[in-house]
Structure formats: structure tokens, C-alpha cells
Amino acid sequence: MLPLFLDDFWVLFTTRVLILGLMALSFDLVWGYAGILSFGQALFFGVAGYCTALLATKLEITSVFVLLPAAALVGLVVSFVVAAIVLLGKRPPSVVFVALGTLTGSYVVERLARGWSYVGGQNGISSLPRLTAASYEISEGPVFYYMALVLLVLVYVGLRVLVRSQLGLVLAGIRQRENRIAFLGYTTQNYRGFVFCLAGFVSGLAGALYAFHEGFVGPGQLGPVLSTQVVLYALFGGVGTLIGPVIGTGLIDLLGFYFSHIWNTGWPIILGLLLLVIVMFRPTGLIGFFVSDRERIGSFGRASRARIPPARREAPERTAP
Amino acid sequence: MTLLEPRGNLLEARGVTKVFGSLTALSNADLAVRQGEFHGLIGPNGSGKSTLLKCIAGAEIATQGSIMLGGQDITHAAVPERARAGLSLKFQITAVLPELSVYDNVLLALQAHESMPRLMLSRSRQVLDERVMHLLSRFQLDARRDELAGVLSHGQQQWLEIAMALACAPKLLLLDEPTAGMSPQERRATGELLMPIKQNCSLLIVEHDLDFIKDICDSLTVLDQGQVLASGPTQQVQNSERVRDAYLSHA
């Protein structure tokens, strides 16, 4: 309902927050739920942005029903390639290896984009056409806002169901003791790879939304800077909650906006200190003030409908049956 | 000396050698566990029994030699492949999942072979409910099913682990010091809890408590300085002079 009360600037601002929140959500999925420290979410975001921008400018495809699924697909495929390299070995890789692998990927692709004139080099691809639904043009503003909001809510609900399913239970186990889970017979890399690709899918979707919202796609949307920014959004809001990173994105952007007005040169320092304080004293993020650890891990369905026989209820601890 | 029957061996390790840098932890060790047998693996500290267990479990890969489980070569298999071949283990240090409920711990062990789509739809939870509750009540944990595994007493965590190890319906269960840190009563109870699994499952136990081993094991293999000192039925090995010497000089 927000666009009814806000002027144009704030509608654009909140739309941007929703889109980046979607990307932060994808990071939370990989780090908060699958324990993969991915410094490469921008890679999927940016590549999907570039691909859809090329589709729109070179082939003049602007239909939202083609471009958004295409973007998600690109994110999925690229993340699968990255997963095949860094995640899906015979034995589980270390967290640091995956972090460096994804960071390197993000860096390399940014450098490639900067040097490749077909995709606009340093300048990227600008003045993208608007997305269309049939003959209707989706311009930035309330309509785009609602589209982003609906997509964010859909993705959030879908992921929420997923992380509370029995698959989510397996992921919770992997986070706590990967070795133990492997000894039970789970090929943990496959579960991780699956979640990583799903997150790539979401990131890709966000990437195309962002590109068409800004009307521009550039190397900055691919690189380690954006990748890291998303990590901070998520840590600030609270990982492993799905909603935390979205809140984190909104708050950081809002604070950034506010402080940059009153102290233009110094605000990154304030922001940095704030992030540091949160990460040091609240490793669970802002959401950690409201949600206990047990709630955070959550339940995965009711334990059992079978009633415990009354005689057993007081089972003495040390007697054999 | 080594008892290697061609028929009925579930686990057969031949000539297993493990070298760490300049240290030979295990040298040409043979081990055979028959179907439905409880087999004890004993030896002084540093004799290589944990290393042998790790090579079988997949935590380490043998430098030389072969390990067969139910006719399948698992010498170089990854850990989940071994689990699928019928191997299960209980860790020396309790490794239950502390932040999950007791119920979810067992359920995780039971649904290890479900497909991802079924897990996503949470079908497995309803289907497996009865088996989870059966296992829990067998180990007297049913009343505590909703509690976090991390808050159980040490002995109960050990039982939960054994329940999880059995949930995979293994052919061979490896137990690394199952009674470590248990009270004498808990030890006795553990032994009694283990006896009924004999029908479906063989057991390979590494244990310091010789009385416990003597009570429940049919046969023993004694390791000393990385080599097999003796192997055979419990009575026979127990009375062997060499075994006594090794234990007296190293223990």
C-alpha cells in the first residue's frame, strides 16, 4: 500500500530495497541454511541482468513473462556451473574454499565485463527499454513496486515452506554436524548444491528486476563489492531467518540515505561501525533481539501423534527394559 | 592366527596399512567379521585400532590393502556410499545433533535414503513416524522426544546415537567406545540394549572396558603396534599368552 502515501522518490527507493532484499534472501538461503559462504551472489545477479539486457536490446524482447523466467534460468545455470566447480566434489569442500571460489568467480566476471566491448565495457548497457506485459509498459513507480513486492513475497513463502520441510531438517543437520549427516548416508554436497542453485535462481530473478528498474546494467552489478554488500545486509538483519536479510537491506539503505544527507563524506564510517557492532555483539543479527535460537532453527512438523503410554512417561533413566 | 573364513564374512579387511608421514599406524592388518557376530577390537593405546576403524568407516583411506563389505569393495568409497552399502557407526565422541529434537535426530537417520522431492513434501515424516517412536521407546527416549538432543544426559546421548546408528538398518555397526563416560549401570544397560540387534546386524566394537567386551563379544581381534597380535573366539584370545604380555607391557 506504500505507494499511495509516498512520493515518487520513495517508491523508487523502496522498490530498490525489495529487489536487493530478494538478493539478500538468496544469500541467506546459501549461508544461513546450507552453510555455504558465497561471495558470489552478485555473479548470478549480474550475469542474469546482462543476459536479459542483451535480449531486450539486441533481440527486442521486452515481455516480462519471457525475461524474468529467462533471468532466473540464467541464474540457475550459472550457479550450477559454479557449484559443479566448487561444491560438488567427491568430498565436501571447506567453507573457505567455497568463499574464495565464489569471490574469484565474481571478480573474474566483473573484469571480463569491463573489458568486453560487446556488453558495453566499463559503461555497461544503458537505456534499457521498459518491461512489457502484453501491450502494457511496466514503468518504474507503483506498478514496478507491486511486481517486486509480489515476487518477493512469493519467493519468501516458497523458501519458508522449503526450509521447514524435511529437506530443511536435513539442511539443519548438515549445518550442525556435516560429518554425522554424511555417515547417515546423505550425500551432503548434493543438498548443498541444490540449495546453491536455488539461490542462484532467486539471485538471477533479482538481477533482471534490478537491471530493468534502473534501466541500466553495468560491471558493478557483477562484482565482489555488491556480493559483499549483500553479505552485510544479511548479517546485519540476521541470517538463517529469511526475513532478517530483507529487514537488513531496508535498514541499511535507509540509514545510508539518511546519514549521507547529514554527513556526506563520513557516513560509510558510521555505517561500518554500526555493522561491526552488530556482527560482534549480535552474531544472529538484529532479528536475534526478537527471536530465540530454538525458534530460529524452528520445527519441522509435529513430533508424533502417537501418545506416550503413561507408564513410560516417568521412565527411569538407568534401567534396562 | 588370523581367522579368515571364506564363507559368511560380512566384513573382510585384508592387509590394511595406513601410513601417516613417517608413522606407520597400521601395518598389514587383517580383520574379518562374520554375519551376526559381535566382534571386539582391542589393544593398547596407539595400537592402531582407531585407525583401522576409521579406514573401515571412511574417515581415513587405507594406504594399502582392501576392505570388502558384503562382497562390495569399499576401500576407497566416499562416506555416503559406505552407508548405502550397509555400514553405520556410532562415534567415539557423541555426535548427536544438539540443536534438533530427539525425535528429529532419529527421523534424520531414518530418512537418509528418501529422495529430495519426498523430503521437500515432508511425506517421509508421516510415513516414518511409527518407526521413529519404536526406536525411541526401545532406548527409553520416547518421553523425551521433543527435547533438544543437547540437553540429554551423557548416557542418553550415547543411546540416542546407537538408535540413530540402528535406524539406518545397517548390516554392520561400528561402535567406537560405546560406554565411554558411562556409569556402571548405564554400561550394563547398554550391553542389554545391544544384544537384540544380533539377528539383523553384525557389530564391530572398539572398547577399553574389557569386561564389557568379554560380556558381549563372540570374537576378538587384538592389535598391538599396528599389527594383529591375535584373532579368534573370545575365550581363546583371552587366554593367549601373547595377548596378556602385550597388555601387561603397554597398558
Q: What is the ipTM of this complex?
A: 0.79
Same domain, yes or no: B36 and B144? no
Same domain, yes or no: B16 and B83? yes
pLDDT value for A305: 56
pLDDT above 90 coverage of chain B, percent: 8
- Residue B27 falls within a domain, yes or no? yes
Same domain, yes or no: B179 and B70? yes
Contact B86, B69 (CB under 8 A): yes
Q: Chain A contact for B86, CB < 8 A?
A: no
Rounded CA gap, B221 and B240, in Å?
12
- Residue B208 falls within a domain, yes or no? yes
- Residue B101 falls within a domain, yes or no? yes
Return phi, psi of residue A87, to 5°: -110, -35
Q: Closest Cα of chain A to B248: distance in Å?
A: 33
Rounded CA gap, B79 and B64, in Å?
18
Residue of A169, A197, A312, A319 to mutate when probing chain B, most B C-beta within 10 A: A169
Same domain, yes or no: B177 and B91? yes
Rounded CA gap, A100 and A24, in Å?
19
- Strand B9-20 with B87-90, pairing: unpaired
Copy the grid coordinates of residue B163.
538408535
Same domain, yes or no: B216 and B174? yes
Q: Chain A contact for B115, CB < 8 A?
A: no
Same domain, yes or no: B147 and B199? no
pLDDT value for A55: 92
Same domain, yes or no: B33 and B142? no
Question: Which CATH number characterizes residue B187's domain?
Answer: 3.40.50.300
pLDDT value for A35: 87
Domain residue limits at B77? 9-96+170-250
Chain A contacts of B137, Cβ < 8 Å? 312
Residues 110-169 of A with CB under 8 A from B: 162, 165-167, 169
Same domain, yes or no: B132 and B184? no
pLDDT value for B248: 54
Q: Chain A contact for B164, CB < 8 A?
A: yes
Chain A contacts of B104, Cβ < 8 Å? 169, 172, 300, 303
Choose the closest CB to B103 out of A294, A304, A318.
A304
Same domain, yes or no: B69 and B115? no
CA-based nearest residue in chain B for residue A173: B97
Same domain, yes or no: B139 and B16? no
Same domain, yes or no: B198 and B124? no
Examine the pLDDT at B202 and tell me if it is beyond 50.
yes
Give residue-wise pLDDT tens across range B97-138.
888 888 999 999 888 888 888 888 877 788 888 888 888 888
Q: Chain B contact for A44, CB < 8 A?
A: no
Q: Closest Cα of chain A to B170: distance in Å?
A: 10
- Residue B128 falls within a domain, yes or no? yes
Q: Closest Cα of chain B to A101: distance in Å?
A: 23
Same domain, yes or no: B92 and B175? yes
- Residue B4 falls within a domain, yes or no? no
Full pLDDT tens readout for chain A, 321 residues: 666 677 888 888 899 999 999 999 999 999 989 888 899 899 999 999 999 999 988 888 888 898 899 999 999 999 999 999 888 877 778 888 889 989 999 999 999 999 898 888 888 888 888 888 877 888 888 888 999 999 999 999 999 999 988 899 999 999 888 888 888 888 888 899 999 999 999 999 999 999 999 988 999 889 888 998 899 899 888 888 889 999 999 998 888 888 888 877 887 788 888 888 887 887 788 888 787 777 777 777 765 555 555 444 444 444 433
Return phi, psi of residue A127, to 5°: 40, 60
Secondary structure string (H, E, C) spanning chain A: CHHHCCCHHHHHHHHHHHHHHHHHHHHHHHHHHCCCCCCCHHHHHHHHHHHHHHHHHHCCCCEHHHHHHHHHHHHHHHHHHHHHHHCCCCCCCCHHHHHHHHHHHHHHHHHHHHHCHHHCHHHCECCCCCEEECCEEECCCHHHHHHHHHHHHHHHHHHHHHHCCHHHHHHHHHHHCHHHHHHCCCCHHHHHHHHHHHHHHHHHHHHHHHHHHHCCECHHHCCHHHHHHHHHHHHHHCCCCCHHHHHHHHHHHHHHHHHHHHCCCCHHHHHHHHHHHHHHHCCCCHHHHCCCHHHHHCCCCCCCCCCCCHHHHCCCCCCCC
CA B151 to chain centre: 24
| pTM assigned to the model | 0.83
- Residue B23 falls within a domain, yes or no? yes
Give residue-wise pLDDT tens across range B38-91.
999 988 888 888 889 889 988 889 999 999 998 889 889 888 888 888 888 877
pLDDT value for B231: 86
Chain B contacts of A297, Cβ < 8 Å? 99-100
CB contact under 8 A, B108 and A173: yes
Chain B contacts of A299, Cβ < 8 Å? 101
The domain total for chain B is 2
Chain B contacts of A90, Cβ < 8 Å? 78
Chain A contacts of B169, Cβ < 8 Å? none
CB contact under 8 A, B111 and A317: no
- Residue B115 falls within a domain, yes or no? yes
Rounded CA gap, B52 and B219, in Å?
17
pLDDT value for A43: 93
CA-based nearest residue in chain A for residue B129: A304
